[in-house]
Amino acid sequence: MSPAELHADSIVIDGLIIAKWNRELFEDMRKGGLTMANCTVSVWEGFQATVDSICKSQKLMRENSDLVMPVRTTADIRKAKEIGKTGILFGFQNAHAYEDQIGYVEVFKQLGVGIVQMCYNTQNLVGTGCYERDGGLSGFGREIVAEMNRVGVMCDLSHVGSKTSEEVILESKKPVCYSHCLPSGLKEHPRNKSDEELKFIADHGGFVGVTMFAPFLAKGIDSTIDDYAEAIEYTMNIVGEDAIGIGTDFTQGHGQDFFEYLTHDKGYARRLTSFGKIINPLGIRTVGEFPNLTETLLKRGHSERVVRKIMGENWVNVLKDVWGE
């Protein structure tokens, strides 16, 4: 197959998109041949604000049902591929929306939330984020992990502290993931994961989605799609070809105010980090350029079989396990 044919034939999954929700984004998803995306509907929001966010998201999806459809199961992912739409999975980047109510895990699962990050950069009731001294997984956090396992919600550890991550990996009876991360072996950064951390999650049946967020890449805003491919290869050499996928962290369409919200604790308090200028790698600056990644991986010598795995098949397999299908 040609690169374009392989991309069109493959299941293509982005394990994390936090772009601005509108029809233009959905059109770009279709241009990029995206089969499914884990789309963030909660970061710093509590229960009520997250429910409101989901309501708005559902309305937008109904209004654009010619382009997108909701995803609750891996059968939905395959159906989206079959009918030429992009499946939207709701995800949280913080367990804060669960507040102190274990029952909210199932409530949000019923609303279509299939993946939840345990912490976003800082401390919450579950554990500790990557920008604070790590106190590990709390007793309440262990109950939340158990409930997420029971109802079929994947535990995400991308912005989570090292100790909390290790304890979630050991506590969970289902595979967990870093939905969007990069290796610190290529660049030291609080958000990047060491070779040891990457190996640990893979050795315990976990999964790694590789991001291309410029501040975490070695060359920053000067990065190209080949630099992104290098990070994928570096990670795959550690975790293996069955435990790796894509998690771009696309922030397409957002302005500086959004990044100010993300980089302050609770969205308004102390500054945690400063990203500076953000430009996605040359060659994959928009969701619509996703086919370039398939082409780049093929050019770099990866087989069609491995490229299919990286681009989406591995995500389907691990989600099927977590969701209990």
First to last CA, the chain: 31
Q: Beta strand 86-92 with 68-70: parallel, antiparallel or unpaired?
A: parallel
Q: How far is CA 170 from CA 38, 39, 121, 164, in A?
A: 24, 26, 20, 10
Say if residue 4's pLDDT is above 90: yes
Q: What is the reported pLDDT for 314? A: 98
Residue 214: pLDDT band by 50, 70, 90 thresholds? very high
| DSSP letters for 264-320 | BGGGTSSB-----S--PPBT-SSGGGTHHHHHHHHHTT--HHHHHIIIIIHHHHHHH
Q: How far is CA 141 from CA 86, 112, 123, 172, in A?
A: 33, 21, 12, 11
- The one-letter code for the residue type at 176 is V
Dist. CA 295–CA 177, nearest whole Å = 26
Say if residue 277's pLDDT is above 90: no
Question: Average pLDDT of 79-84?
Answer: 98
- Taking only the tens place, the pLDDT of each residue in 49-66 is 999 999 999 999 999 999
Three-state DSSP state, 181: strand
Q: Which of 109, 117, 73 is nearest to 92 (CA)?
A: 117
Dist. CA 271–CA 164, nearest whole Å = 22
**115 and 89 Cβ atoms separated by less than 8 Å:** yes
- Taking only the tens place, the pLDDT of each residue in 100-115 is 999 999 999 999 999 9
DSSP state of 155: E
Q: What is the reported pLDDT for 276? A: 85
**40 and 16 Cβ atoms separated by less than 8 Å:** yes
**195 and 236 Cβ atoms separated by less than 8 Å:** no
Q: What percent of the chain has pLDDT over 90?
A: 98
Q: Is the pTM of this model over 0.85?
A: yes
